[in-house]
Amino acid sequence: MPGPSTAELTFYWFHRAIAAYCLMFGVLYWIRLIGFYEGPSWRFDLMPAYWQVAAVTLAALFPFAAIGLWMLASWGPVVWFICAATEAVMYVGFPELFGEKLLIVVSHLCVALVYAAIRLAIYFERRAEERQAV
């Protein structure tokens, strides 16, 4: 049986790269929560309630997504999607509360598009292999 294809290897390494990206986001949320971040009300006890809920949720979920993505677990991309959707709602849906961080939303969208493209490449590759086997 042959090893993984180029598309599958790309998919595995893409998971690992996004795992590092998620870990970075998780660490940044933890930095905000414990007060190392310079800025107004960027310590948990000084944050407004809506920021407390969002920051705690994302500080827990981003590292969890990173673990799932690094292990190539099927739930890793699902947890990442929950994090990305949460940030998209925060920064696009409620910019008056959370600010406008369009770059973060665009980066999540780019990750989703690359993920979908690689998945499609794997699908078409496997489909072509099945046709050759018949």
pLDDT along the chain (134 residues), means of 10: 85 97 95 79 85 96 98 97 98 95 97 97 92 83
Residue 1 covered by a domain: no
How many domains does the chain divide into?
Answer: 1
**Number of residues in the chain:** 134
Is the overall model pTM greater than 0.85, yes or no? yes
Residue 113 covered by a domain: yes
3-class DSSP string for the chain: CCCCCHHHHHHHHHHHHHHHHHHHHHHHHHHHHHCCCCCCCCCHHHCCHHHHHHHHHHHHHHHHHHHHHHCCCCHHHHHHHHHHHHHHHHHHHCHHHHCCCHHHHHHHHHHHHHHHHHHHHHHHHHHHHHHHHC
Distance CA 133, CA 2 (A): 14
Residues with Cβ within 8 Å of 21's Cβ and at least 6 positions away in sequence, in order, are: 111
Residue 96 covered by a domain: yes
Cα separations in angstroms, 24 against 8, 97, 113: 25, 23, 20
Residue 32 covered by a domain: yes
Residue with tokens 């739930």: 75
Residues of the domain holding 54? 6-133
pLDDT of residue 130: 86
pLDDT of residue 41: 67
pLDDT of residue 85: 98
